[in-house]
Structure 1
Amino acid sequence: MVGVDDRCMMIARFQPLHYGHFNVIKYCYEKFKEVIIIVGMASQSHTPENPFTAGERIEMIRETIKWAKLPLDKLITVTLPTLEVSRAAVHYVKLYSPPFKYVVTLNPIIQRIFIEEGYHVIQPPIVERGNYRGTVIRKLIANGSDEWKKLVPPPVAEIIERIDGINRIRMLYKEKLPGYYVTV
């Protein structure tokens, strides 16, 4: 049985999951027996900042884990509704998640609130943080560039294409697509 000392938690929006997230997930897999991945702002979708649903993001995570040949039995996926980031949010994380001792994050606000609540915070190695950002990827998609595909694992690109995520993002960024709208 895996105990609290053998388990870490990482939290992100995964809008979409990119290689920065993936590198943190791999780091967690190397260090811990179980990895809790919390999909934050799960109740938001179809906005420029949060274009994908919680279910779509969970699928991105699971398919990426399988693609990387990492064991799914080490993964616990939790969704967290949209909350204001504060120490009170830690209470909700505890309600929705199995117990854990370690928080793996680069986000200074998340670091601070979990430290204040007595958790051990670990900073994962930083890999090309300037490129691996959801904002960068969504803007590349909105602008019609295929460069975004280099920033996400192949299963994520496949899911985005399958769910018509490219057109969703373009619409959310106010890009009217020729031939996409039906006239009656």
Structure 2
Amino acid sequence: MRALFPGRFQPFHLGHLAAVQWLLNKYDKVIIMIGSGQESHSVYNPFTAGERLFMIKESLKEYNVDFRKVIMFPIMESFTSKNWIRIVEVYSPPFDVVVSGNPLVYTVAKESGYLTDKVPIFNRENYNATRIRKLMIENDPSWKELVPKSVYKFIEEIGGDNRVREVIKSDYC
């Protein structure tokens, strides 16, 4: 079975990694859909689709994930209605089941006739992209412990933590 695992991954963190590893133990292939690909440089979506794709790829490589079992793709969509799944169908490789921890994604997929599965939430109080971005805004270095080393290194390379601090000025000031 092929499982579709949609997310924004802003940024990809250790909870996402644990979810991917769980999925790979349960399904033949995992399709990681990087959602809201058109969004970047905002507090809610600070990283580009290409940057998130790179973070995920480097994380999976760092943790020796078998790339023969993983398909990744970004998609430019907006999760605003039940039609969201129809847009995903056009751009995604075929999938059998939609796996998510997001109740809205889960409900839309189920109502559209897809098999669904709920991914366990791995230490959500720590591994939470909103919290990680907040720690970046506060210039709190503890965010670095919540992402794979390869993600930390890449975010540092591109000045991503500085970007998050800069975009909050334009988003909220």
TM range (shorter): over 0.9
Equivalences, count = 170
**RMSD, aligned α-carbons:** 1.2
Structure 1 unmatched runs, 5+: 1-5, 176-184
Alignment counterpart, residue 125 of structure 2, candidates 116, 127, 130: 130
Give the TM-score taking structure 2 as reference length. Answer: 0.94
C-alpha deviation, 1:172, in angstroms: 1.1
Q: Percent identity at matched positions?
A: 39
Give structure 1 regions of 4+ aligned residues with deviation exceeding 6 angstroms: none
Which of 35, 43, 46 is equivalent to 1:48? 43
Aligned to 1:103: 98
User: Which residue, out of 30, 45, 48, partners 1:35?
Assistant: 30
Code of the residue aligned with 1:40 in structure 2: it is G
Q: Does 1:168 align with 2:163?
A: yes
Larger Rg: 1
Among 4, 10, 16, the alignment partner of 2:5 is 10
Q: Taking structure 1 as the reference length, what is the TM-score of the superposition?
A: 0.89
More helix by share: 2
In structure 2, distance between residues paired with 1:10 and 1:126: 13
CA distance in 1, matches of 2:2, 2:31: 7
Q: Tell me the alpha carbon deviations over residues 76-120 of structure 1, each in whole angstroms, 9 at most, x when there is no partner.
A: 112111313321010011101111111111111001000011111
Any unmatched runs of 5+ in structure 2?
A: none
- The more displaced of 11-20 and 73-82 is 73-82
**Partner secondary structure for residue 69 of structure 1:** coil
